[in-house]
Amino acid sequence: MSNGVAEKTQKTIGGIRRKFAPWNDPQAVPLIRYQNVTKRFGEFTAVDNLSLDIYEREFFALLGPSGCGKTTLMRMLAGFEEPTEGMITLAGQNLVGTPPYKRQTNMMFQSYALFPHMSVWDNIAFGLKQDRMEKGAIAARVEEMLKLVKLEKFAKRKPHQLSGGQRQRVALARSLAKRPKVLLLDEPLGALDKKLREETQFELMDIQMELGMTFLIVTHDQEEAMTVADRIAVMNHGKLVQVDQPAVIYEQPNSRYVADFVGDVNILDAKVEALAPGAVTLRAEAAPDMPIRVAQECPAKVGDSVALALRPEKLRVELDPPADPSVNTLTGTIWDIGYLGDLSIYHVELPNGVRVKAAKPNLTRMVERPITWDDKVYVSFTPDAGVVLTS
Amino acid sequence: MAVKSSGRWLVLAVPYLWLLALFLVPFLIVFKISLSTDAIAQPPYEPVFDLAAGWEAFKESFSALSFDNYSYVLSWDNEFIEAYGSSLWIAGVSTILLLIVGYPIAYGMARAPKSIRPTLLMLVILPFWTSFLIRVYAWIGILSPEGLLNQLLIALGIISPDQPLQILATNTAVYIGIVYSYLPFMILPLYSALEKMDDTLLEAAADLGCPPFAAFWKITWPLSLPGVFAGCLLCFIPAVGEFVIPDLLGGSDTLMIGKVLWTEFSVNRSWTVSSAVAVLLLMVLVIPIVFYQNLQAREVEGR
């Protein structure tokens, strides 16, 4: 079990270190398959003709705003909802029509749903007892789970005698105890404070690698999804907008929606001025006197309206014009400054009133920053900093 | 600070004053009467404390008090012990019947769509709008040999017209009457316990491999126990002392302590013996009340 970590991060195939990426392997057989799944509640369509493959040992995140259908998608896998149309398979078996108590999935509930009249020990043992596991084996498994979540000393306590973080661990231990094929996590860390949440995210990843299980997490917190997941599916209105690794979602969003939902972004409306192989020149409405070069293959035609997405940390703000002529440079004035300690966020107003945000790390301990309100500044970014979005 | 704390004492004192005036003082009066002897007088017992007669007279009347009535009530020769036993039995059986009838109703109400729950609750309380006495009388009309129930069964050909069911004036009629009259007191605490139960607990149980029926016994039932105890005590305690229902629906052989007490008081005109019966009844009932309070204290602690 201990080499699980190594195995996942550096799978060695033919002597070449490779990342864990079964979704790129055409031979790989998905563990979970949603095939053209639709779920309607009366008039409302929660999940709309959606297909998705999730692979064994993946940590997969469903990300989206509330009401986007992510929870419904998960609950259909657990069996609490049946799809109106379509098929869901787990390890090749069709799940539709199978009641939740016969499915090899376990869920960690957002509210934890611990049984208040049972001790921590009995909560964790509950699922094992349902399987009519032998007594000694139950005790051994419960002890193992208590050790895994570091709650050995709390076995006899009732849920109301625990803190929020401890309850969360009991819920996790209970859902892991049966070694399900898939562990479903419904906003598992939503009730914890920020620090504890960040710690727990890493613990979740460790546990997932240690047990070598498939985790499916539902969250509206994009940072959480980026931290824990191998792949993220961004959802909106019951459809998948983009499914990819966190870095791809962040750096190469496929739409305004994804760019805007995941992380902070400046979106500039622009028109395509010229196209070349692997490059595109744009004319932004916010800076009509300055052509913007973007190093990207662009599906749009000359004259099309597109959007340029620029992450704040990829913009440089300086008092002097950049020396390198290949970078794109816009001019503006400092409209506002947000000092966050590690970063300062500069809000720069471009000549026609559009404001962009630029994040600059505070590399020195100077309290008085050289750039201040109403300064004329140069905002520059390299051709590979931005993404052209056509939708 | 002083104002604040005296204000708090006042708030605390109000319920205790009520208890003192409306429970403890009447109880002490009844207790005193139970220690007196019958007399042909007004009031019909002696001694009577007369504070105006002075300390010596007071002491003398105090020494005239005795526990004779209690040994009379508790002697096996008289029917009182049997009446206590039979009351506890009838109340116990009725409470179990009430639980069997009430639990599914409360469960159904708690599971009903949220929008119709207030209506269902209203329907449970609705019978209170008619006088209790009239509702019990109505059962005579239903259960009597020529009553509605027998008419219906005869019309359906289930029983022959010359052999109507003898339900009225039996213990069965008393059970029916008690279950009917006390049902809301069983349903309401059960409903409130079941309604606040978190549905995701049942989802969690199902998720962990527990089929619905088993989940009921492992999750729903234990979590509804406070409601079960509250409902059972709310029904059991008044049912033990019930007088109207056995009097109207029961037969001559229906022995219940409430009826005995009534007979002792109004027919035999013995205030002293009926007071002793009442005090002993209270003692019998204090035990489940104390038990219930312990349970409640534990539940509060459990939160």
- The pLDDT assigned to B296 comes to 74
How is residue B216 annotated by DSSP? Answer: I
Domains in chain B, CATH or no CATH each: 27-66 (no CATH), 79-301 (1.10.3720.10)
Q: Are residues A290 and A363 in the same domain?
A: yes
Of A201-205, A285-289, B176-180, B240-244, the one with minimum mean pLDDT is A285-289
Number of cross-chain residue pairs from A and B with Cβ atoms under 8 Å apart: 61
Section B255-278 average pLDDT: 90
For residue A13, being part of any structural domain is answered with no
- The pLDDT assigned to B300 comes to 61
Q: What residue numbers bound the domain in which A354 lies?
A: 264-389
Contact of A92 with chain B, judged by CB distance below 8 Å, is answered with: no
Section A141-169 average pLDDT: 94
Among A238, A256, A274, residue at a domain's last position: A256
For residue A2, being part of any structural domain is answered with no
Among A211, A235, A256, residue at a domain's last position: A256
Contact of A360 with chain B, judged by CB distance below 8 Å, is answered with: no
CATH code of the domain covering residue A199: 3.40.50.300
Contact of B228 with chain A, judged by CB distance below 8 Å, is answered with: no
Contact of B113 with chain A, judged by CB distance below 8 Å, is answered with: no
Q: Which residue in chain A has the smallest CA separation from B206?
A: A101
Alpha carbon of B291: minimum distance to chain A alpha carbons (Å): 20
Alpha carbon of A306: minimum distance to chain B alpha carbons (Å): 46
Q: Are residues A228 and A271 in the same domain?
A: no
Question: Considering CB atoms only, which of A80, A117, A160 is closest to B303?
Answer: A160
How many domains, in total, are found in chain A? 2
Q: Are residues A59 and A97 in the same domain?
A: yes
Share of chain B above pLDDT 90, in %: 60
Examine the predicted complex and report whether its ipTM is higher than 0.95: no
- The pLDDT assigned to B299 comes to 66
Q: Are residues A177 and A116 in the same domain?
A: yes
For residue A5, being part of any structural domain is answered with no
- The pLDDT assigned to B31 comes to 93
- Mean pLDDT across chain A, nearest whole number? 90
Q: Are residues A68 and A201 in the same domain?
A: yes
Question: What is the crossing angle of helices B171-195 and B80-111, to 10°?
Answer: 40
Contact of A99 with chain B, judged by CB distance below 8 Å, is answered with: yes
Among A229, A256, A283, residue at a domain's last position: A256
Q: Are residues A270 and A249 in the same domain?
A: no
Question: In this structure, what token pair is assigned to residue B302?
Answer: 């459990």
B218 contacts on A by Cβ (under 8 Å): 126
B201 contacts on A by Cβ (under 8 Å): 113, 115
Q: Are residues A216 and A285 in the same domain?
A: no
pLDDT at A43 over 90: yes
Q: Are residues A279 and A251 in the same domain?
A: no
Is the distance from CB of B37 to CB of B45 less than 8 angstroms?
yes
Contact of A107 with chain B, judged by CB distance below 8 Å, is answered with: yes
Contact criterion met (CB < 8 Å) for B209 and A101: yes
Q: Are residues A205 and A290 in the same domain?
A: no
Contact of B197 with chain A, judged by CB distance below 8 Å, is answered with: no
Alpha carbon of B151: minimum distance to chain A alpha carbons (Å): 48
pTM of the model: 0.83
pLDDT at A95 over 50: yes
Q: Are residues A159 and A231 in the same domain?
A: yes
Other Cβ atoms closer than 10 A to A364? 7
- The pLDDT assigned to B302 comes to 55
Question: Considering CB atoms only, which of A105, A113, A126 is closest to B200?
Answer: A113
pLDDT at A170 over 50: yes
Q: Which residue in chain B has the smallest CA separation from A115?
A: B201
B210 contacts on A by Cβ (under 8 Å): 101, 126, 130
Q: Which residue in chain B has the smallest CA separation from A175?
A: B208
Interface of A with B in 151-210 (CB under 8 A): 158, 160, 174-175, 178
Digit-coded pLDDT (tens) for A25-35:
888 999 999 99
For residue A298, being part of any structural domain is answered with yes
Q: Which residue has the higher pLDDT, B11 or B93?
A: B93
Contact criterion met (CB < 8 Å) for B203 and A126: no
CA distance B3 to A157: 42
For residue A294, being part of any structural domain is answered with yes
Digit-coded pLDDT (tens) for A211-230:
889 999 999 999 999 999 99
Contact criterion met (CB < 8 Å) for A130 and B209: yes
Digit-coded pLDDT (tens) for A131-150:
999 999 999 999 999 999 99
Contact criterion met (CB < 8 Å) for A113 and B201: yes
Q: Are residues A241 and A117 in the same domain?
A: yes
Q: Are residues A170 and A241 in the same domain?
A: yes
Question: Considering CB atoms only, which of B208, B211, B219 is closest to A178?
Answer: B208
Contact of A105 with chain B, judged by CB distance below 8 Å, is answered with: yes
Q: Which of B199, B203, B207 to mutate to test the interface with A (most CBs of A within 10 A)?
A: B207
CA distance B221 to B201: 12
Section B24-46 average pLDDT: 89
3-state secondary structure chain A: CCCHHHHHHCEEECCEEECCCHHHCCCCCCCEEEEEEEEEECCEEEEEEEEEEECCCCEEEEECCCCCCHHHHHHHHHCCCCCCEEEEEECCEECCCCCHHHCCEEEECCCCCCCCCCCHHHHHHHHHHHCCCCHHHHHHHHHHHHHHCCCHHHCCCCHHHCCHHHHHHHHHHHHHCCCCCEEEEECCCCCCCHHHHHHHHHHHHHHHHHHCCEEEEEECCHHHHHHHCCEEEEEECCEEEEEECHHHHHHCCCCHHHHHHCCCCEEEEEEEEEEECCEEEEEECCCCCCEEEECCCCCCCCCCEEEEEECHHHCEEECCCCCCCCCEEEEEEEEEEEECCCEEEEEEECCCCCEEEEEEECCCCCCCCCCCCCCEEEEEECCCCEEEECC
For residue A15, being part of any structural domain is answered with no
